[in-house]
Amino acid sequence: MNSIDYQKATDFDKAWLNFEQDLPLKPGVNGRANPFYISRPGNPINELADALLAPFYRPPKFFFSGHRGCGKSTELQHLLSNPEIHKKYWPINFSIREETDIIDLDFRDVLLAIGSRLFREYRRRGGELPDHLLKELGGWKGKVEKQISTILDGRISDIELGASIDAFFVNAGLKMKLEPATRVELRQVVETDITGLINIINHIAATIYTQEKRFPLVLIDDMDKPDLDRARAIFHDRREIMLQPNCAIVYTVSSALFYSKEFDSIRGQALFLPNINLRAGDADHQVQEGYRTLEKFVSVRVADAIIDPAALDTAVTYSGGVFRELARIIRTSIGRARRRKASQLECEDVEWAASEIRNEYRRILDKDDLKLLKKVYESKKLEYSERLTPLLQLLAILEYRDQENWCDIHPVLRKMV
């Protein structure tokens, strides 16, 4: 099975598939939400949708972030099921990891990916580009190939792809992803004419708008994966260039950037997707709305008979309000229940799953980390610290929002501190 079929499971085998952690939910059909999609309380994606639907002089740019596993990819996919978005925009959604190496990501890679995907997606959907634009694209492609040949001192480059502009974009992206040497060559060429690449993007976007009567909207996922230094280089150092394409863009951004001094450069256009509140920041009582949200996340995927209600409550508590953590706990628990040849997932299975996660943290947390975790556990305060950021990214510390931001440690770590 290559993808989820979005049917409620009545046995452990199907339930295992329904809690796949790395498959964002696809948009629903005919304007409907995906049946597995769960809207969170005060969902910031509604704020993003409202901002995209507001009037503008220039197509807007937004920087969308959140902690690992909080559902960013799923929310971007859900945005595509909004009929008002489709009425105003011609949207495309792609992962930057499909276009280049996300470990070695550069602003030039991102711009090339935007131009490439706009061109390829419009052609794939049957769009026709005018002859003058195809001629311009052919001229730009020829210039790139010539400059790369010069860099290689006349030797034939694998990037030289003949007459097909479609093939050029497809193969250039593939080689950017897989071949470091070609990546260096292309970046070197693009750097000398970054204005030319942006003009290409803008002319493709203008053609799409003219023919479709809708603004192109580019949703770029997985740009939160590079480390903080690369995020700074793209969104702080090259911020003005990343705002130049004349189409609406939603960039996913590393949460680490939100905890750095450079956050100020994107503050006005930034949205953060928080974890689900299961407890109030200043008290120990449960937030029932948060529990209901995560219980529904499980109940739409699996029949009630498969999981004991107490086990579900325990799993939600251990998840810390993080969707992917809950999926991981349920899936690991299912594995143990199957090995027990049980017919129902029980508390002992969830406790075992929690201990497995706790053991993972034991391998990577040092004494100083544990001291900081104990301080956070006692104070619940989100205070800037260089050590805080990696612990947030590891989900050892989880951020929440009431009226103000606060944080706590991952619930499975309470026995360690």
Note the pLDDT tens digit of each residue in 219-252.
Answer: 999 988 888 888 888 888 889 999 999 999 999 9
Q: What does the block give as tokens for 284?
A: 């120990």
Measured CA to CA, the distance from residue 233 to residue 252 in angstroms comes to 15
Q: What is the pTM of this model?
A: 0.87
Per-residue pLDDT tens over the stretch 236-292: 888 999 999 999 999 998 887 877 777 777 878 888 888 899 988 666 778 899 999
- β strands within 105-171, DSSP E: none
Strands 248-252 and 89-95: unpaired
Strands 248-252 and 215-221: parallel
CATH 3.40.50 fits 42-266, yes or no: yes
Residue with tokens 């250039």: 172
Measured CA to CA, the distance from residue 325 to residue 354 in angstroms comes to 10
- β strands within 301-404, DSSP E: 397-401
CB 302 within 8 A of CB 9: yes
Sign for the pseudo-dihedral over CA of 248, 252, 258, 262: negative
Domain range summary for the chain, segments of one domain joined by +: 1-39+276-364, 42-266, 366-417
Sign for the pseudo-dihedral over CA of 215, 66, 324, 394: positive
C-alpha dist (Å) from residue 207 to 113, 265, 410: 18, 31, 49
Per-residue pLDDT tens over the stretch 176-195: 676 777 777 778 877 778 88
Q: Among 62, 49, 93, 45, which Cα is nearest to 249's?
A: 62
Residue-level pLDDT at 318: 97
Strands 89-95 and 397-401: unpaired
Helix (H) or strand (E) holding 172: helix 165-178
Calculate mean pLDDT across residues 160-177.
65
Q: What is the CATH number of domain 1-39+276-364?
A: 1.10.8
Measured CA to CA, the distance from residue 173 to residue 100 in angstroms comes to 6
CB 266 within 8 A of CB 221: no
